Amino acid sequence: MDPVSEQRLSQVHPLLAEKIRQMAMDLDAQGITIRVTQGLRTWEEQQALYDQGRSAPGNIVTNAEPGYSWHNFGLAVDVVPLDGSNAPDWNVSHPVWATITKAGQNLGLTSGSAWRSFPDWPHFQLTGNLPISPPPSVRAAYIQGGTAAVWAQTGLDVMPSDVDGEISV
């Protein structure tokens, strides 16, 4: 993975990062290169994205308010395939996107491409025991104990060494 992707993966749950790296290797073997475009997002960043197309200029890019996206807890990433000139290819009708989705699902990741109300092709998440969207208990755990408290709820084997304070509420 390129340095930009690695920097973004360094801020998400280690098991999610490991699976995204494996996905990238599996895709690379098929001639597909991906880049991580989003990983951990602060609640302020989430608010700015939510405002886009509503109270701020631009197109609507998310229906998730702060605290309602797994990105806010380091349990989701967005990826994009790179074309031959290393530029992002956002054309989700290109067959490469279906290959990316399948590669992620084969590794146990949830793909946003299957969401009916707002398909999110670049999105992959790993939430363990937790549901598809963050419930109130996750927001409460985060406010009380930070990302470590949320990750503990997932039941995933790998735990953070020191992630508190990376996100501000």
In a domain? residue 161:
no
Tens-place pLDDT, residues 91-118 = 999 999 999 999 999 999 999 998 988 8
Look at residues 47, 3, 36 and name the one whose alpha carbon lies nearest to residue 123.
Answer: 36
Going by pLDDT thresholds of 50, 70 and 90, the confidence category of residue 146 is very high
In a domain? residue 163:
no
Residue 165: pLDDT over 50: no
Q: What pLDDT was estimated at residue 158?
A: 55
Higher model confidence: residue 65 or residue 116? 65
Supply 8's token pair.
């973004």
Region 26-52: what's the mean pLDDT? 97
Could you tell me the residue range of the domain that residue 60 belongs to? Answer: 3-154
Region 9-21: what's the mean pLDDT? 97
Q: How many domains does the chain have?
A: 1
In a domain? residue 167:
no
How many Cα atoms occupy the beta-carbon half-sphere of 34 within 13 Å? 30
The domain that contains 85 carries what CATH number?
3.30.1380.10
DSSP, collapsed to helix, strand or coil, labels residue 42 as coil
